[in-house]
């Protein structure tokens, strides 16, 4: 029996072949997101956190092009850990269908239904969905991430919806006092198992409705302390009743209005 034993240099060379950045969203990240960054999507209920995460996933797993037509996907594999049962594969497929139609419309072509379905179905093979229903299962999944990433070196995105799902279970068990300290410990734990693979990590996080119309856009020290590179704070302005996304990073902050419709989140520039 013959087998190949891969040494450390061979392993590293495989992971160096990954793209240096991925283009999750042209409006939010015009220059892409480096493949070792951490993104937090935070907001109250019904502000579109899970929808935005699903849009990121749809764009990630779509091909860059198909039969010479630019689809503008990232052509990578992604893992989504679904802690609350809110991730719908049908919704991700719907987003991909919309993106494909938009790509064909740019060149004034209506794609056959069979072509669209074929692209969507092939792309879904790039997505691994892991569902859990307890804190114990969640911890086991996090501890096994390294094995999952070793099995597929094309994986370049890890997504978690919602990172707060088991906060109260963990608090009662360990006496954790603050939500921030809980998230910080989870992020550190996740990084321990994923840092060598240079992947983008994005998670959703519940937040209470804001008591004021505008969030603080200058809390960069909080980003640094949490290890977060990009914070996307989604909220509804009480006075205008409009949805707003505050994007914050260590380098800059910007405010973008958006709407929520059947085809997902649409930025209004």
Report the distance separating Cα 191 and Cα 36, nearest Å.
Answer: 10
Of residues 262, 260, 188, the one with CA closest to residue 43: 260
Tokens of residue 129, six digits: 């969905």
Domain boundaries, the chain: 16-268
Report the greatest alpha carbon distance in the chain.
Answer: 71
Q: What is the pLDDT of residue 106?
A: 86
Of residues 128, 140, 117, the one with CA closest to residue 78: 128
Q: Is the pTM of this model over 0.85?
A: yes
Report the distance separating Cα 252 and Cα 104, nearest Å.
Answer: 34
Q: What is the pLDDT of residue 9?
A: 42
Which positions ≥6 away from 234 have C-beta within 8 Å? 41, 42, 43, 47, 48, 49, 52, 243, 244, 245, 258
* Rounded (5°) CA angle 229-233-238: 165
Q: What is the pLDDT of residue 88?
A: 95
Contact of 199 with 38, CB cutoff 8 Å: no
Domain 16-268: state its class.
alpha beta
* pLDDT tens by residue, the chain, 269 residues: 334 445 554 455 455 456 678 999 999 999 999 988 999 999 999 999 999 999 999 999 999 998 888 999 999 999 999 999 999 999 999 999 999 999 998 888 888 999 999 999 999 999 999 999 999 999 999 999 999 999 988 999 999 999 999 998 888 877 766 888 888 889 999 998 898 899 999 999 998 765 555 555 555 445 556 789 999 999 998 888 899 999 999 888 999 999 998 888 999 97
């Amino acid at each position: 029996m013959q087998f190949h034993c891969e040494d450390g240099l061979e392993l590293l060379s495989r992971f160096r072949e990954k793209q240096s950045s991925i283009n999750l969203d042209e409006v939010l990240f015009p220059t892409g997101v480096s493949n070792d960054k951490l993104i937090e999507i935070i907001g109250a209920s019904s502000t579109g956190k899970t929808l935005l995460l699903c849009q990121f996933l749809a764009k990630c797993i779509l091909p860059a092009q198909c039969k010479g037509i630019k689809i503008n996907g990232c052509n990578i594999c992604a893992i989504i850990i679904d802690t609350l049962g809110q991730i719908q594969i049908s919704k991700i497929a719907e987003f991909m269908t919309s993106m494909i139609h938009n790509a064909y419309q740019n060149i004034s072509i209506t794609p056959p239904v069979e072509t669209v379905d074929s692209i969507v179905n092939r792309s879904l093979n790039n997505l691994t969905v892991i569902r859990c229903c307890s804190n114990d299962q969640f911890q086991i999944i996090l501890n096994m991430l390294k094995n999952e990433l070793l099995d597929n070196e094309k994986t370049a995105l890890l997504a978690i919806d919602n990172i707060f799902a088991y906060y109260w279970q963990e608090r009662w068990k360990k006496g954790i006092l603050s939500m921030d300290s809980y998230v910080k410990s989870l992020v550190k734990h996740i990084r321990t198992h994923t840092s060598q693979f240079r992947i983008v990590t994005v998670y959703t996080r519940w937040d209470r409705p804001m008591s004021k119309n505008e969030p603080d856009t200058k809390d960069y020290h909080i980003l640094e302390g949490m290890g977060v590179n990009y914070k996307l704070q989604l909220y509804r302005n009480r006075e205008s009743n409009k949805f707003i996304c505050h994007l914050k990073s260590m380098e800059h902050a910007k405010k973008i209005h958006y709407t929520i419709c059947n085809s997902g989140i649409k930025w209004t520039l």
